[in-house]
Amino acid sequence: MDAAIAAVRCVEDNRDDHGVGTGGIPNVLGQVELDASVMDGRTLAAGAVCAVKGYRHPIEIARKVMESTPHVMLAGAGAELFAEWHGFEPAELLTPEAEAIWRERTLGGAPTGSNLYADSYQMYMAAVRDWVTLLHDRMLGTTNVIVRDQQGDIASAVSTSGWGFKWPGRVGDSPIIGAGNYADNRYGAAACTGRGEMAMRAATAYSIVRSMRDGFGLEDALRRAMLDLQDLVDPFAERVNVMNAVAMDREGNVAAISTAADTAFVFQRLDMDEPEERPRACVPLKQARSQQVS
């Protein structure tokens, strides 16, 4: 768990990464709102926070929820109060670059003025379809980390700032145990990035681990979860780069998958000096199905 959290902290602190932590693209009101979760494969203990503002390391707050409360998830103001009580330092998460991107998108570049989307729910709903197609490269980023130690103990950690320009309070799959994150020493672990709403509807992370429990190999388990997504009617899904998952089986073998072609993931074992990039398998969404409802 220490290693998983250390890795996620680096991404949360990377100001050039606009999908996680500091530098994340804000919600439609210009506030950076973060989601994160951790899961301990030894015990199936889990902790999560969602829609948290003003703290650099939501992954640490999620761990604290797991370790010191009888709860799994704290949301919004309650999570922030919890963080304050536990001495987490408040921080400014909106970087000038992320703010400029937000201004350009929501205020048309004007330094002040009406926020077209936050002022009008109808306009937000009309615009959000286009955002889905425009955002994916820089603003749908999430970090997934799965770690296994030499005893075979697995920990998983996921952190995100979610959809750029999202409606305040929109929560994705990253803090939802079973949707964006799941770890169980007995079978393996999985975590997701991409369109969280799909992973929430299909319980994607759990379904991958469940397939391994049911005897499927790692690659087949990933593939089955992506095939499940093809049954989701989703008029908001951007057609190409929608969903991604990484997974590890209980032996420590790793694999990843995406609905997009030519994507990669990174892994490293103790006997390797450098991390290695490997291609993800690809199972595209069926276009006809995602376009069925408009």
Q: Does the footprint of ligand GLY cover residue 143 (CB under 6 A)?
A: no
Minimal distance, residue 198 CB to ligand GLY, in Å: 9
Of 41, 47, 54, 196, the residue at the interface with ligand GLY (CB under 6 A) is 196
Token pair belonging to 68: 């010191």
Is 24 an interacting residue with respect to ligand GLY (CB under 6 A)?
no
Give the CA count within 13 Å in the CB-facing half-sphere of 86.
Answer: 19
Phi (first) and psi of residue 35, to 5 degrees: -125, 145
Q: Considering only residues 27, 37, 115, 174, which one is a binding residue for ligand GLY as defined by CB under 6 A?
A: 174
Does 164 bind ligand GLY (CB under 6 A)? Our answer is no
Active site (annotated) includes residue 142: yes
Binds ligand GLY (CB under 6 A): choice among 12, 40, 173, 184: 173
Q: How far apart are CB 264 and ligand GLY at their closest, in Å?
A: 18
Q: Which is nearer to ligand GLY, 4 or 50 (CB)?
A: 50
Catalytic: which of 22, 95, 106, 142? Answer: 142
By the rule CB under 6 A, 160 interacts with ligand GLY:
yes
Strand order in the sheet with 45-52: 73-75, 45-52, 34-40, 154-160, 142-148
Stretch that binds ligand GLY, among 6-14, 22-30, 144-152, 166-174 (CB under 6 A): 166-174
Tell me the sheet residues that pair with 37: 48, 158
Site string for ligand GLY, 101-140 (x = CB under 6 A): ----------------------------------------
Give least dist CB 161 to ligand GLY, A: 8
Binding flag, residue 194, ligand GLY (CB under 6 A):
yes
Chain residues in the site for ligand GLY (CB under 6 A): 142, 160, 162-163, 172-174, 180, 193-196
- The catalytic site residues sit at 142
